[in-house]
């Protein structure tokens, strides 16, 4: 079996690969040069577009990063000249650039190699993550900008992955950059007092990318980017850049431990396989090992697990259990209780009820589910009636179970899930 | 995401040239390179092989013939490897190009690592291998 893409254009793939490796260095360097992230991202993309035309024709340059940086820098100076026609501030910058060859007016203009300073890469990469995930941006803009500016994906790759037209992604990124400019968001690592909120936003965006990838429909187009893998890469990068942040390890652990189950989550006909029915031999043991190590690191700070760490700890209970029955459900109940306190949500409560049912039996779990029903939460979702129906089956209350499962069938949008529910009804006495 | 092995290959000529290079300098360059791989989230594993002469077994005849290592024959030596978790072979090539391996006769070979999922799953040995991997968390 060859996974080499023989249908694509090899020259294009070579450019894309260079971009993957170098994009943060180039965008970071250009942002420091211009003092303007939006402009830097624009000119970096222009340099990439130019590479896509010229490298296939003239060959890949000796220093691909230097080439991209040189083109980006030239485009930035052009942009300043254009802007100088309508804005006095830029006129001054452009005059300085003309006089000294330098945008900042200093006597020595940095060369493309200076801008590719290897000692700045860590700070640049972190600053890029923070700016792309800035709380002033919408979630979808944060995701698009992070994938393009930090993960080094092309707009067309992102568009294919989210099954939307290229101009839609383009528009999200353009809007995001305008918002950052309007909000005067500086490029850099946030100040200490903002750090917790900003980091939480970065963690959230990486997790969104992960869940987008992990919930993607099965049998998907091969050309789509593996978003879950991209998220894991970003999380691995993050723990290197902020090694003192426990929740970064918690997020990495959660992603690794969840992804470990991916090989077993789809049946031979492409149908989803529930955790209880998965062939655990197919779980990715090296991912479990990495996830468990990241979780141990999170715990080692002695500051208590956060929302990601707690979810990772739950995933770890499953990962190390030989079977559903041999799972430490008591521990999972306790972890869900803790998660429900620091990150309350009806879905967490429902999951806790499922764990209680496994640990103590359906009669202990039913009141928890009934409480959710009484509070009228999760309305319109099939989750609540399908869990309640399952508990009623176990309690032998078939007629009530049938009604709940029928309600769940009416609410579900997913054909495969509907089939599973219909099988359950058919199995009722 | 697929995995690729970047295999360091060198010749006697390469090794001779490296003898003149400061060991701390090599450590520094290699350390920086590995750090880049780690920070990009792509490094899965890496090992370097001991420089001492090993042993070669030739199976052309039976029983196989065991000789001292391939040194002095200017044949290519397998000197170590990285395993990278990257999006494509092109990306693996890009990372490998940056490795601090410059020297006469020095090469790297890039090969995709096959996954156990690609073998027949009903084969009893594959099932045993799965169980072994399950037990010790091997790649």
Query: What is the predicted pLDDT for the residue at A226?
Result: 84
- For residue A194, being part of any structural domain is answered with no
Query: What is the predicted pLDDT for the residue at A91?
Result: 63
> What's the structural domain count of chain A?
1
Which residues from A are below 8 Å from B118, CB to CB? 1
Partners of B84 in the β-ladder: B4, B43
Distance from CA of B64 to the nearest CA of A (A): 31
- Kindly determine whether residue B136 and residue A285, on different chains, have CB atoms separated by under 8 Å: yes
Which residues from B are below 8 Å from A21, CB to CB? 40, 91, 94-95, 98
Q: Closest residue of A to B134, CA-based?
A: A285
All residues at 6 or more sequence positions from A290 whose CB lies less than 8 Å from its CB, including other chains: A256
- For residue A157, being part of any structural domain is answered with no
Tally Cβ neighbours within 10 Å of residue A341: 10
Alpha helices by DSSP H, A105-261: 112-115, 121-132, 139-145, 155-162, 166-182, 192-214, 227-241, 246-259
- For residue A98, being part of any structural domain is answered with yes
Nearest to B39 by CA among A119, A144, A228: A119
β-pairing, B107-112 vs B55-58, is unpaired
- Indicate the SS3 state at residue B78: strand
All residues at 6 or more sequence positions from B119 whose CB lies less than 8 Å from its CB, including other chains: B126
Determine the longest span between alpha carbons in chain B, in angstroms: 53
β-pairing, B65-68 vs B55-58, is antiparallel
- For residue A46, being part of any structural domain is answered with yes
All residues at 6 or more sequence positions from B102 whose CB lies less than 8 Å from its CB, including other chains: none
Q: Closest residue of B to A11, CA-based?
A: B90
Tally Cβ neighbours within 10 Å of residue B51: 12
Under 8 Å CB pairs connecting chains A and B tally to: 74
Confidence of residue A177 (pLDDT cuts 50, 70, 90): very high
Partners of B43 in the β-ladder: B84
CB A253, CB A245: distance < 8 Å: no
Whether residue B33 is predicted with pLDDT greater than 90 in this model: the reply is yes
Residue ranges making up the domain that contains A35:
1-108
- For residue A30, being part of any structural domain is answered with yes
The residue to which tokens 């806790």 are assigned: A352
Instruction: Write the pLDDT tens digit of every residue in A116-153.
Output: 777 788 889 999 999 999 999 999 999 999 999 999 99
- For residue A398, being part of any structural domain is answered with no
- Give ipTM to 2 decimals: 0.72
Whether residue A224 is predicted with pLDDT greater than 70 in this model: the reply is no
- Candidate from B38, B86, B94 with C-beta closest to A240: B38
Query: What is the predicted pLDDT for the residue at A420?
Result: 83
Question: CA A354, CA B45: separation in Å to the nearest integer?
Answer: 38
- Indicate the SS3 state at residue B110: strand
Whether residue A238 is predicted with pLDDT greater than 80 in this model: the reply is yes
- Kindly determine whether residue A281 and residue B85, on different chains, have CB atoms separated by under 8 Å: no
Which residues from A are below 8 Å from B130, CB to CB? 281-282
Interface test with A, best of B2, B40, B98 (most A CBs within 10 A): B40
- Kindly determine whether residue B41 and residue A241, on different chains, have CB atoms separated by under 8 Å: no
Instruction: Write the pLDDT tens digit of every residue in A258-274.
Output: 999 988 888 777 777 88
Confidence of residue A2 (pLDDT cuts 50, 70, 90): very low
Q: Quote the percentage of chain A above a pLDDT of 90.
A: 63
Where is pLDDT greater, at A429 or A359? A359
Question: CA A79, CA A100: separation in Å to the nearest integer?
Answer: 17
A419: left (phi over 0), alpha (psi -120 to 50) or beta: alpha
- For residue A160, being part of any structural domain is answered with no
- Candidate from B94, B112, B136 with C-beta closest to A17: B94
- Candidate from B94, B127, B133 with C-beta closest to A21: B94
Cα angle: A29, vertex A30, A32; to 5 degrees: 65
Distance from CA of A140 to the nearest CA of B (A): 23
Where is pLDDT greater, at A85 or A256? A256
Whether residue B133 is predicted with pLDDT greater than 80 in this model: the reply is no
- For residue A139, being part of any structural domain is answered with no
């Amino acid at each position: 079996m060859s996974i080499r893409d023989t249908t694509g254009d090899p020259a294009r793939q070579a450019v894309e690969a260079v971009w993957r490796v170098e994009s943060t260095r180039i965008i970071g360097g250009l942002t420091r040069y211009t003092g303007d992230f939006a402009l830097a991202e624009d000119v970096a993309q222009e340099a990439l577009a130019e590479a896509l035309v010229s490298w296939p024709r003239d060959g890949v340059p000796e220093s691909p990063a230097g080439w991209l940086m040189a083109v980006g820098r030239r485009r930035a100076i052009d942009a300043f000249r254009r802007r100088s026609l309508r804005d006095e501030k830029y006129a001054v910058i452009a005059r300085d650039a003309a006089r000294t060859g330098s945008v900042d007016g200093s006597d020595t203009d940095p060369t493309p190699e200076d801008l590719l300073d290897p000692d700045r890469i860590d700070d640049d990469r972190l600053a890029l993550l923070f700016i792309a995930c800035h709380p002033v941006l919408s979630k979808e803009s944060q995701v698009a900008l992070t994938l393009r500016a930090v993960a080094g994906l092309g707009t067309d790759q992102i568009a294919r992955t989210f099954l939307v037209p290229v101009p839609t992604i383009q528009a999200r990124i353009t809007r995001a950059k305008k918002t950052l400019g309007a909000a005067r968001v500086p490029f850099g690592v946030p100040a200490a007092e903002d750090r917790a909120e900003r980091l939480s936003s970065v963690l959230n965006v990486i997790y969104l990318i992960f869940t987008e990838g992990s919930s993607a429909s099965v049998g998907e187009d091969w050309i789509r980017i593996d978003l879950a893998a991209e998220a894991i890469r970003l999380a691995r990068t993050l723990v290197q850049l902020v090694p003192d942040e426990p929740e970064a390890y918690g997020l990495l652990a959660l992603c690794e431990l969840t992804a470990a189950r991916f090989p077993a989550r789809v049946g031979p006909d492409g149908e989803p396989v529930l955790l209880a029915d998965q062939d655990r031999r197919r779980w990715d043991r090296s991912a479990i090992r990495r996830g468990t190590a990241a979780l141990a690191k999170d715990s080692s700070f002695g500051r208590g697990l956060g929302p990601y760490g707690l979810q990772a700890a739950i995933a770890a209970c499953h990962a190390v259990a030989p079977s559903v029955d041999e799972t430490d459900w008591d521990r999972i109940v306790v972890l869900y209780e803790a998660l429900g306190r620091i990150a309350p949500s009806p879905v967490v409560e429902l999951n806790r009820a499922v764990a209680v049912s496994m640990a103590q039996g359906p009669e202990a779990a039913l009141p928890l589910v009934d409480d959710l029903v009484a509070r009228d939460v999760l309305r319109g979702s099939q989750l609540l009636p399908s869990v309640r129906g399952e508990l009623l089956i176990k309690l032998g209350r078939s007629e009530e179970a049938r009604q709940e499962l029928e309600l769940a069938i009416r609410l579900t949008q997913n054909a495969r899930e509907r089939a599973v529910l219909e099988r359950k009804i058919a199995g009722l006495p | 995401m697929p995995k690729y092995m970047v295999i360091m290959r060198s010749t006697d000529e390469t090794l001779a040239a490296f003898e003149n290079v400061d060991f701390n300098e090599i450590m520094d360059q290699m350390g920086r390179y590995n750090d880049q791989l780690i920070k990009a989230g792509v490094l899965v594993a890496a090992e370097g092989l001991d420089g001492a002469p090993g042993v070669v077994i030739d199976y052309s005849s039976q029983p196989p013939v065991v000789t001292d290592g391939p040194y002095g024959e200017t044949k290519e030596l397998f000197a170590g490897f990285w395993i990278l978790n990257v999006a494509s072979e092109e990306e693996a090539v890009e990372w490998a190009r940056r490795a601090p391996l410059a020297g006469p006769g020095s090469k790297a070979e890039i090969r995709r690592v096959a996954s156990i999922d690609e073998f027949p799953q009903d084969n009893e040995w594959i099932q045993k291998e799965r169980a072994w991997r399950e037990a010790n968390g091997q790649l």
